[in-house]
Structure 1
Amino acid sequence: MLSNFVPLASPDINETDINNVVNVLKSGMLVQGENVGLLENFFSDYLGAAHASALSNGTSTLHLALVTLGIGPGDEVIVPAFSYVATANVVELVGAKCIFVDIDENTFNIDVNKIKEAITPNTKAIIPVHEFGLACDIESIMSIAKEHKLYVIEDAACALGATQNNKKVGTFGDFGSFSLHPRKSITSGEGGILTTNNSDYSAQIKILRNHGIEMQDGKMEFVAAGYNYRMTDFQAALAHSQIQRLDNILKLKQALADVYLSEIKNPKITLPVVPEGRNHTWQTFHVLIDDSLQQSEVLEFLRNNKIGANYGAQCIPAMKYYKEKYSLDYKEKFPNAYKAYTKGVAVPLYEKLNEDTVYKISQILNTI
């Protein structure tokens, strides 16, 4: 039914984007220049956040958030058991301990009802993930965090433009972390944005991302053992060019998701759910297959039918490093996360597709 192979993801880079990057390359001012500032300002305005800092990738944003909050050895951080592994890796990088919590099977987001039982006197923060572009129940999480005096770092890597009750994610917690990887709605190749409403946090982030440099009396002073987490100016130019059409991109992706939601009728496939009061930005269209199907066989079937597909994210406690370090009975303790990992299938959804192609993919899914 498909004449050409449809990849799982493909960034939409147009001539304007390319020209903007070329202009920076011709200027010779390549590192953290004017376009970085323009991108940061656009993010702040779009999200309604007081401050935004452009960094080298989405993992560095999470890492610097933890460092800025002073989280380290002896501290515990609550993370969902199902996410891309970077969500947990950053906790390990600062020497803290991951406390995994299972997800809601319908939304793939952290199960809010299980957070409180994971809190101990050593708990310092929660990193909720807006998985695949769906806003988690961040309002309830903020209530729990306030009650227990915990920091909240929103992992909104996939969820630029997602909302709960019309407020954009990344603005609820102490920090909001966004990725600009090529599979996201807009991309800088690699890159990330860290948002906050706290001016002191923002100032510290900008020092730490640039080797610990602070300008004092017109001179550079090294005031911290910082990192090189800067974004290049040509990366920022690429992302800034795209973000100006973000709302249109999200509308196109919603229209494609609507085709999947209406046309996939296979009883062996469970479709994603969007709870009332929240929206989905569809970074990934992720379905669950039932026990009669094997994930590897379904992925092979789709690829043989010219459809790029993959599993969606990891059950982190089942990954080799975390399995050996924490020795958790992940199948028993995190059944929904393990199911999402082993029975989840991500299919193509990006703005360069058209509705006819998505309709054809849906029909192929119906034959599994």
Structure 2
Amino acid sequence: MRLNVPDLGSEELASIAEVLESGYLTQGPKVAEFERLVAEHVGVEHAFATSSATTGIHLALRAAGVEPGDEVIVPDFSFPATANAVIQQGAIPVFVDINLATFNMNPALIESKITEKTAAIMPVHAFGLPADMDAINEIAARHNLPVIEDAACALGGTFKGREAGSLGTAGVFSFHPRKIITTGEGGLVSTQNAEMAERIAVLRTHGAVRGSHFMSFVEAGYNYRLSDVLGAIGVVQMGKLRDLVAKRQELAGVYNRLLAGVQGVQTPTVPAETTHTYQSYVVLLDAKYDRNAVIDAMRERGIETTLGTYSMHLQPYFSERFGIADEELPQATRAHSSALTLPLYPQLTEAEIASVCETLGEVLASQG
């Protein structure tokens, strides 16, 4: 049983064929339609499709005014692309510990990390669960800092009735095959800020502004565009978004019910007035269990699982550069070694989930 299977079919193939027949393969009308659909769903004026969420984060940081030598506050427990984009802008990621119940950045720890060099706060909506954005935005407002949502996993998630990607200065989504919807590879930046939008539009396409006859290059920009072939997939996928999220939430409820009786497993916590997309269904195992041995044992029984995500300060690059002790980030360190991602995708059946839960219980029991 695989960890994830994208929901793709004949509609996506037909949409791709339409682009191929048009001969317009680079960023074009399909990307524009995709951007419009995402912007309407999120509830913002501006959306810019990008080649990946990583390039989207880079654009958002630069458009927000983050300069080389600045500091950007990020959670330690996240896929390293979050901090890599900060590094690519020449800035310095400042790691904050998480709340172990939600896997999201702990707002109570942010203010102590703010210095005169701090240029932005970048919360991550872990596994599709929006962070505590009221608390984060309040801190940011006191210090006049932009908030960039790493909403890679959270398209379709909400916080107090508002969509992820509309909760900060800008939001960034991913459309990797493991995400809620996919374009194969790709990302998108959403914002209500007209000034940011103007800069992103220029930076995304080589720093160019198109005139009546030719382009003028006003910035040292990038080629971070999404092709119309991938945009065509995204247009179809957006039509499925609400159903895909609803199905994931339904199946997560099955997991919650069946795992309630399994000793040593903490199921996901969803705070009030927050909706989880369950891009990944991640549990926390008791510290006595060897999570990596659990992954191996589940694989031997034909079930793919993996770690939750990475505690970045433990990764070689960040460890060698910053040398942060585990004791400074204890919850992220614990999550790195004990979080376990179980299979979850809309095509999964309740019987298959029951098999996963039964097998996990047996594997944990074998470890004592």
Question: What TM-score does the superposition give when structure 1 sets the normalisation length?
Answer: 0.97
Q: How does 1:134-149 map to 2 (within 5 A)?
A: 134-149=129-144
Equivalent AA in structure 1 for residue 315 of structure 2: M
Equivalent-residue separation in structure 2 for 1:203 and 1:218 (angstroms): 20
Equivalent AA in structure 2 for residue 273 of structure 1: T
Aligned-residue offset at 1:27: 1.7
Q: How does 1:80-99 map to 2 (within 5 A)?
A: 80-99=75-94
Q: How does 1:1-368 map to 2 (within 5 A)?
A: 6-264=1-259, 265-329=261-325, 331-367=326-362, 368=364
Q: Cα deviation per residue 1:232-271 (whole Å; 9 max; x = unaligned)? A: 0010000110111110111111111001000012111111
Q: Cα deviation per residue 1:76-103 (whole Å; 9 max; x = unaligned)? A: 1100010000111111111111111000
Equivalent-residue separation in structure 2 for 1:203 and 1:70 (angstroms): 13
Equivalent AA in structure 1 for residue 118 of structure 2: T
Equivalent AA in structure 2 for residue 94 of structure 1: Q
Equivalent-residue separation in structure 2 for 1:24 and 1:359 (angstroms): 42
Q: Cα deviation per residue 1:43-97 (whole Å; 9 max; x = unaligned)? A: 1100101100011000000001111122122311100010000111111111111
Computed over aligned residues only, the root mean square deviation of the Cα atoms, in angstroms, reads: 1.0
Aligned-residue offset at 1:142: 0.6
Equivalent-residue separation in structure 2 for 1:177 and 1:16 (angstroms): 26
Equivalent-residue separation in structure 1 for 2:219 and 2:117 (angstroms): 26
Task: Name the SS for the 1:254 alignment partner.
Answer: helix
Equivalent-residue separation in structure 2 for 1:355 and 1:19 (angstroms): 31
Task: Name the SS for the 1:145 alignment partner.
Answer: helix
Aligned-residue offset at 1:291: 2.2
What fraction of aligned residue pairs are identical, expressed as a percent? 39
Aligned-residue offset at 1:218: 4.3
The runs of 4+ residues in structure 1 deviating greater than 4 Å are: none
Q: Cα deviation per residue 1:151-172 (whole Å; 9 max; x = unaligned)? A: 1000000000111111011112
Equivalent-residue separation in structure 2 for 1:137 and 1:359 (angstroms): 32
Unmatched runs of 5 consecutive residues or more in structure 1: 1-5
- 1:3 alignment counterpart: none
Task: Name the SS for the 1:193 alignment partner.
Answer: strand
Q: How many residues align?
A: 362
Equivalent-residue separation in structure 2 for 1:366 and 1:50 (angstroms): 47
Task: Name the SS for the 2:154 alignment partner.
Answer: coil
Q: Which one is further off, 210-219 or 337-346?
A: 210-219
Q: Cα deviation per residue 1:289-321 (whole Å; 9 max; x = unaligned)? A: 112210111001111111111102110011100
Task: Name the SS for the 1:151 alignment partner.
Answer: coil
Equivalent-residue separation in structure 1 for 2:287 and 2:46 (angstroms): 46
Task: Name the SS for the 1:11 alignment partner.
Answer: coil
Task: Name the SS for the 2:307 alignment partner.
Answer: coil
Task: Name the SS for the 2:48 alignment partner.
Answer: strand
Aligned-residue offset at 1:39: 0.4
Equivalent-residue separation in structure 1 for 2:198 and 2:232 (angstroms): 23
Task: Name the SS for the 1:37 alignment partner.
Answer: helix
Equivalent-residue separation in structure 2 for 1:196 and 1:124 (angstroms): 18
Task: Name the SS for the 1:314 alignment partner.
Answer: coil
Aligned-residue offset at 1:18: 1.1
Equivalent AA in structure 2 for residue 277 of structure 1: E
Equivalent AA in structure 1 for residue 353 of structure 2: V
Equivalent-residue separation in structure 2 for 1:220 and 1:162 (angstroms): 39
